[in-house]
Amino acid sequence: MSGFTSRNELLASRLPRFTRALHGVEKGSVNAIHRTRVASRRLREVLPVLQLDSDVSSKLSKKLRKVTRRLGSVRELDVLLILIDQLRESGRHPSRALTLVKVNVAQARQRMSAELTAKGMSEHLRRAARKLGRVLDALQSSEDTAAQARAMRWAVDARIARRAAALRTAIGEAGQVYLAERLHAVRITMKKLRYGVELAAEAGGRQDQSDLRALKRGQELLGRMHDLQVLIDRVRLVQGDLTPPNLVVWRELDTLVTVLEEGCRRLHGRYMRERPALVALCDRLRTKTQSAGALLDRRTG
């Protein structure tokens, strides 16, 4: 199956990104936590197409899903701290309100980091890395057959078609009004499609990166909107916990919420302008992957 990346190459390109950052995770490094979480998602993406024993694949997917979820709790707080610093540097937002919120987020981050240590996260990561290493060794011991390569291609294309349809549905359900939860669902669905397209590009040796760039732009736009919304929720939490009550500080926090909500509305306006192109991309990906699957069937059947 010339032109197709082998199963062991797909896993070999992803596993080092996961293992390299483990030491940094143990130290609580912001960058290491982010890299490890992204790497865990990319490993989860490739596992189902490696044609492993179903029990092995299921257990590994479960372990990696736990990694993604637990590191995600810390990563969200890290993102909030970065966002707060950016807002402070702009000089256009109430400084005292931002300081109060930052203290709250930093304390939550410290608690979450301690919780990961208490639950033995480092050892959990290392066990997952060792098991993935054994899977890689097994895949490297033999070359893929034509049937295995064809099955992998079908699996990848079927996933893209399914996720493109899911994203189109999510975009439709989000409608044209700013609804944070529905837009968050669009972002998550878009992220899954992006990882699928990324895998297909590597597996099939495709050079066209335009779809990936479009999905990345959309994901970043919705991600920023989500970050602002999470920060709004955090500000409201701090506002409600003010002890002793302070009307001046409460109003400064309220002003911050207003500014953040305006930011969300502006980003939503940008999203609405890009929405038709995203819908067209979903339709194109569904058609392209279905056509590619049919062509592959004729060539290799």
Residues 228 and 288 reside in one and the same domain: yes
The model's pLDDT over 203-248, given as tens digits with 9 standing for 90+, comes to 876 656 888 999 999 999 999 999 999 999 999 999 988 888 889 9
Residues across the chain: 301
pLDDT value at 70 more than 50: yes
Residues 299 and 231 reside in one and the same domain: yes
Number of domains in the chain: 2
Residues 120 and 170 reside in one and the same domain: no
3-state helix, strand, coil in the chain (%, to 5): 85, 0, 15
Q: Provide the residue range defining the domain that includes 49.
A: 1-148
Q: Which residues contact 241 (CB under 8 A, 6 or more apart)?
A: none
Q: Quick one: pLDDT at residue 289?
A: 67
60 compared with 24, residue with greater pLDDT: 60
Residues 19 and 101 reside in one and the same domain: yes
The token pair at 286 is 């569904």
- Calpha distance 10→53 (Å, rounded): 17
Residues 111 and 10 reside in one and the same domain: yes
The token pair at 235 is 């500000």
- Calpha distance 25→117 (Å, rounded): 10
Residues 141 and 227 reside in one and the same domain: no
